[in-house]
């Protein structure tokens, strides 16, 4: 919605008008969406204004949407309101408004904490903006969510690890990790075609994001999204980048593959069939998509059988030679 910025990875300017010919969602449409969603039973339901910079939209329109959302909370149809926005569109006045309307969680698109990467991505905000906005959001008692992007132009795995460390230090409740995708009509597309930007490829990106996932989990921070939503508009605009409809599953599979390989190497028995025990419901991740993990282990000479055990927690494995 009329975002004044032009991030290198974003195609909002080239798609504006395509998504909705009749303009923006009305209050009635928001209410209708809530009614539809409320029919599905859930313990905790949030109304989320996502996919843009909510606090940067026209103020009168933002207040109209918030008024509908507040009414949904008052009537018990939803339990909380979640919004996403840019770090430079957070200040005390905005937070007062959000608080007064019952907003519970705020997610910031941080993307990177590396100044040169933010600059190349044309983000228009600094890493310090992320720090200040996050502190203010926490001071006001909102749940804080931070979103990071990996594989942006100029970024490296070390840069992504540094970004993750700096984001974790801000003590977010939740994190989302997105691989940068080159879309038609973006500055990144021009960089890609001009040879100035080469994405790292799916396998490397999966391996990096698997490490980031473990890192945040070790810090007790929930990663609520890993990879982009598979949508027709994304497929239509896709040029390059680590997109996979089951990206998170690939990352979780990679975690199991790495720890299994590590332990198998420590045991050092290639000749005999080894049993890998893991938590219930985790077998498909150990096996990997299209048996990818088992095949990789087999190519290294390891013969594996996978069984589930009630004794083990998610991510834990036990190998019996």
Q: Which is nearer to ligand SF4, 164 or 188 (CB)?
A: 188
- Minimum CB separation from ligand SF4 for residue 280, in Å? 39
* Near ligand SF4 by CB under 6 A: residue from 2, 6, 128, 269: 6
* Near ligand SF4 by CB under 6 A: residue from 7, 118, 149, 168: 7
Query: Which span (6-14, 137-145, 165-173, 305-313) binds ligand SF4, by CB under 6 A?
Result: 6-14
Alpha helices in the chain (DSSP H): 12-15, 27-38, 59-74, 92-100, 115-120, 127-139, 157-169, 187-193, 202-218, 232-237, 247-267, 283-287, 292-299
Q: Which is nearer to ligand SF4, 104 or 187 (CB)?
A: 187
171 to 12, 61, 135, 146, 219: CA distances (angstroms): 30, 31, 9, 9, 9
Query: Which span (4-12, 37-45, 183-191, 303-311) binds ligand SF4, by CB under 6 A?
Result: 4-12
168 contacts 212 by C-beta, under 8 angstroms: no
Which residues between 22 and 61 bind ligand SF4 (CB under 6 A)? 52-53
Handedness of CA 213, 215, 217, 219 (dihedral sign): negative
- Minimum CB separation from ligand SF4 for residue 187, in Å? 10
- Minimum CB separation from ligand SF4 for residue 74, in Å? 30
* Near ligand SF4 by CB under 6 A: residue from 30, 54, 69, 86: 86
177 binding ligand SF4? (CB under 6 A): no
- Minimum CB separation from ligand SF4 for residue 112, in Å? 13
Q: Which is nearer to ligand SF4, 54 or 256 (CB)?
A: 54
Q: Residue 209 and residue 226: Cα distance in Å, rounded?
A: 8
Q: What share of the chain is helix, strand, coil (3-state, %, to 5)?
A: 45, 20, 35
Q: Which helix (H) or strand (E) element contains residue 238? A: strand 238-241
Q: Residue 130 and residue 69: Cα distance in Å, rounded?
A: 26
Which residues between 90 and 109 bind ligand SF4 (CB under 6 A)? none
Q: Which is nearer to ligand SF4, 5 or 171 (CB)?
A: 5
Q: Which is nearer to ligand SF4, 52 or 159 (CB)?
A: 52
Q: Locate 141 and state its tokens.
A: 């008692």
Maximum Cα interatomic distance, the chain, rounded to a whole number of Å: 70
C-alpha neighbours within 13 Å on the C-beta side of residue 315: 10
What does the per-residue mask of binding to ligand SF4 show for 126-165, with x meaning CB under 6 A?
Answer: ----------------------------------------
Q: Which is nearer to ligand SF4, 178 or 216 (CB)?
A: 178
Q: Which is nearer to ligand SF4, 59 or 270 (CB)?
A: 59
Please enumerate in sequence order all residues whose Cβ is within 8 A of that of 157, keeping only pairs 6 or more positions apart, or say none. Answer: 200, 204, 208
- Minimum CB separation from ligand SF4 for residue 234, in Å? 14
Per CB under 6 A, residues contacting ligand SF4 are 3, 5-7, 10, 12, 52-53, 86
């Amino acid at each position: 919605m009329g975002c004044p910025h032009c991030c290198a990875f974003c195609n909002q300017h080239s798609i504006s008008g395509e998504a909705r010919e009749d303009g923006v969602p009305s209050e009635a449409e928001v209410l209708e969406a809530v009614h539809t969603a409320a029919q599905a039973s859930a313990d905790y339901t949030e109304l989320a204004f996502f996919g843009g910079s909510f606090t940067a939209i026209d103020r009168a329109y933002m207040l109209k949407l918030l008024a509908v959302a507040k009414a949904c909370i008052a009537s018990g149809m939803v339990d909380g309101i979640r919004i996403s926005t840019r770090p430079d569109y957070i200040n005390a006045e905005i937070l007062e408004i959000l608080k007064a309307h019952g907003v519970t969680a705020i997610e910031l698109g941080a993307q990177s904490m590396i100044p040169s990467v933010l600059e190349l991505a044309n983000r228009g905000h600094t890493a310090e903006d992320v720090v200040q906005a996050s502190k203010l959001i926490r001071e006001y008692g909102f749940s804080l969510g931070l979103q990071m992007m990996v594989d942006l132009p100029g970024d490296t795995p070390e840069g992504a690890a540094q970004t993750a460390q700096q984001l974790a230090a801000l003590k977010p409740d939740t994190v989302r990790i997105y691989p940068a995708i080159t879309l038609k009509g973006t500055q990144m597309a021009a960089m890609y075609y001009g040879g100035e930007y080469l994405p790292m490829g799916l396998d490397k990106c999966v391996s990096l994001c698997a490490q980031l996932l473990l890192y945040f989990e070790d810090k007790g921070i929930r990663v609520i999204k890993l990879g982009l939503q598979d949508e027709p508009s994304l497929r239509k605009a896709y040029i390059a980048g680590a997109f996979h409809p089951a990206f998170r599953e690939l990352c979780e599979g990679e975690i199991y593959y790495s720890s299994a390989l590590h332990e198998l190497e420590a045991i050092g028995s290639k000749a005999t069939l080894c049993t890998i025990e893991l938590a219930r419901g985790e077998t498909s991740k150990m096996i990997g998509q299209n048996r990818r993990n088992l095949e990789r282990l087999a190519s290294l000479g390891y013969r594996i059988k996978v069984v589930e055990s009630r004794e083990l927690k998610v991510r834990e494995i036990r190998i019996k030679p």
